[in-house]
Amino acid sequence: MFRPVGMVALALLIAGCSSGPPKPYGIGHPIPLGPYVATVEGSDFMAWENEGLLIVHFRLQCTTKPRDFERFANEYRKAFTLRDGDGKEYEGFMSPAPTRGMSPSGLLEDMKNPPKNFEEEMERMGVDLERWQAFFMAPAYSKGYKLHIENEMRQSGQAGRVVVDLYR
C-alpha cells in the first residue's frame, strides 16, 4: 500500500518521464532531432485494391563534424510512425533516397576497395545521405495521416515527440 508521500513521488516520476503531447510541425519546417535537423518535404501515396504505400520524403542535415548519418539510421530506426485520422498506428522503415543506379563497374570497384565507413558505402550505392524516405503500409481508404517522430537523441530545448500533418 502506498502512503501519500509515496504516491506523490510516483506521480512526479511518471510526470518526469512523460514528454507531453507531440509538438506540431508543418511540411517544410525544420525539426531538430538531437544533432540532426529533419525537414519533411512531402509525401506520395500509392494504392492498389485496399492496400496502400505512403512514402514520406524528408531532407536530413547533420550538425556535427564529421557528419554521422549511420548513427541517425541506428538511433532513429523505430522513431518514425504513421497514424491515421482514426488513431491507428502503422510502423514503417526509413532509408536514404536513391539518386542513381549502381553500375557494374561501381560494384567491381567496391569489391576491390571496400568502403571505409557507412557514408562512403551509401554514396557508392548511389544514395543521397541528405535525402531520406520513410515507408508505411496502410489501408488505401484511410485519411488524416500524420507522421509521428520520437526524438531519440533529444537535446535541451528540443521536443521529445513531434507530429507532422501530411494532408492525406
CB 88 within 8 A of CB 142: yes
Distance CA 60, CA 39 (A): 7
Distance CA 149, CA 29 (A): 14
Provide DSSP, 132-164.
EEEEEEEETT----EEEEE-TT--TT--SEEEE
Report pTM.
0.76
More confidently predicted of 87 and 109 = 87
Distance CA 42, CA 57 (A): 5
**Nearest CA among 73, 61, 43, 63 for reference residue 152:** 73
pLDDT tens readout for residues 31-59: 999 999 999 999 999 988 889 999 999 99
pLDDT tens readout for residues 78-88: 999 999 999 99
